[in-house]
């Protein structure tokens, strides 16, 4: 007869009369992993059925309850020995399973197996005990620099030119120096670190970067994240350092290259060499006809030590 089992684990106060020795350095390192399962031993592992799992420490207990029986496992430490008591109780009306309480000395860290019951068809119900020593990690010194808050992340961050023209989206992460190349405008590099040949023309506040060149050209980038946890920095504004360089392409060169690229994409799609989502070609044609300027390229990289004015 197959039954459902629920596993519960606990690590509350010490069991009465089982207080571990206070000077024992191994207290807290001992754990026994417990699994309740059934299978037909002669028919292979395909007959395996898990009925619950848990673990118990010297101050912990795990319990399992089913239709036919319940099992509890209590751990304790005594005279530098790791002990586990397994108690099996038959459910009301169950006559083929006897109440049983067995104590195991698991100090040798060897696995133990206890058979609980056997069905008429040969299915066996078992408890597996696997003791182990778990490592207790020593606390380490918190270091702000480990958060790498200078690193940018752009999880789909819209870029707006001169407060009115949407020119694309940045999708990249993990680098302290970001750049975007805008045809006819500039190749803009920006960082929270003060770089050589950079200007204080940008600021970051609540996940928004605002950059304003001395000629009045502006960029706004929203949904900006920072650090290993990729979160918006609270507070600010924080200084963003800018390198404003000549763009890779002029507006005329960009428009010519876009027309050539769209035509090539269209030809490949007609020949069946390229699969495009529905409506893609139409959107590209509209882009070509609108003469809008879009981001040509963008990227992220690490900052070299010799690029920084005042390393922290």
Residue carrying structure tokens 């950079």: 198
Q: Tokens at residue 39, please?
A: 């299978």
pLDDT at position 27 is: 55
The per-residue pLDDT for range 218-269, each reduced to its tens digit, is 999 999 999 998 998 888 899 999 999 999 999 899 888 888 888 888 888 8
Question: What integer pLDDT is reported at residue 4 of this predicted model?
Answer: 34
pLDDT digit string, tens, across residues 152-177? 999 999 999 999 999 989 999 989 99
Going by C-alpha positions, the residue among 52, 29, 49 that lies closest to residue 39 is 49
Sort residue 85 into left (φ over 0), alpha (ψ -120 to 50) or beta. beta
Going by C-alpha positions, the residue among 80, 75, 37 that lies closest to residue 55 is 75
pTM score: 0.57
Distance between CA atoms of residues 256 and 252, nearest Å: 6
Partners of residue 183 on adjacent β-strands: none
pLDDT tens-digit series, residues 50-64: 988 999 988 888 888
């Amino acid at each position: 007869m197959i039954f459902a089992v629920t596993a519960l684990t606990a690590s509350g106060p010490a069991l009465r009369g089982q207080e571990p020795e206070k000077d024992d350095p191994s207290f807290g390192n001992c754990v026994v992993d417990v699994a309740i399962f059934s299978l037909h031993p002669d028919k292979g592992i395909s007959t395996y059925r898990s009925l619950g799992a848990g673990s118990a420490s010297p101050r912990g207990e795990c319990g399992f309850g089913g239709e036919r029986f319940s099992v509890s496992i209590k751990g304790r430490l005594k005279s530098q020995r790791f002990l586990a008591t397994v108690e099996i109780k038959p459910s009301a009306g169950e006559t083929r399973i006897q109440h049983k309480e067995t104590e195991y000395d698991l100090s040798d860290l060897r696995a133990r197996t206890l058979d609980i019951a056997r069905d008429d068809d040969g299915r066996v119900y078992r408890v597996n005990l696997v003791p182990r020593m778990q490592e207790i990690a020593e606390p380490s010194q918190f270091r702000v620099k480990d958060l790498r808050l200078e690193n940018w992340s752009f999880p789909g961050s819209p870029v707006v030119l001169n407060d009115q023209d949407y020119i694309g989206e940045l999708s990249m992460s993990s680098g302290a120096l970001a750049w975007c190349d805008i045809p006819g405008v500039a190749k803009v590099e920006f960082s929270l670190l003060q770089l050589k040949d950079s200007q204080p023309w940008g600021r970051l506040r609540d996940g928004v970067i605002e950059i304003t060149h001395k000629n009045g050209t502006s960029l706004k980038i929203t949904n900006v994240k920072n650090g290993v946890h990729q979160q918006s920095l609270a507070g600010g504004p924080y200084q963003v350092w800018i390198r404003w360089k000549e763009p890779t392409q002029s507006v005329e060169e960009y428009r010519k290259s876009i027309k050539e690229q769209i035509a090539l994409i269209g030809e490949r799609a007609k020949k069946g060499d390229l699969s495009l989502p529905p409506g893609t070609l139409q959107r590209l044609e509209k882009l070509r006809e609108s003469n809008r300027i879009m981001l040509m390229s963008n990227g992220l990289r690490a900052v070299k030590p010799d690029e920084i004015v005042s390393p922290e």
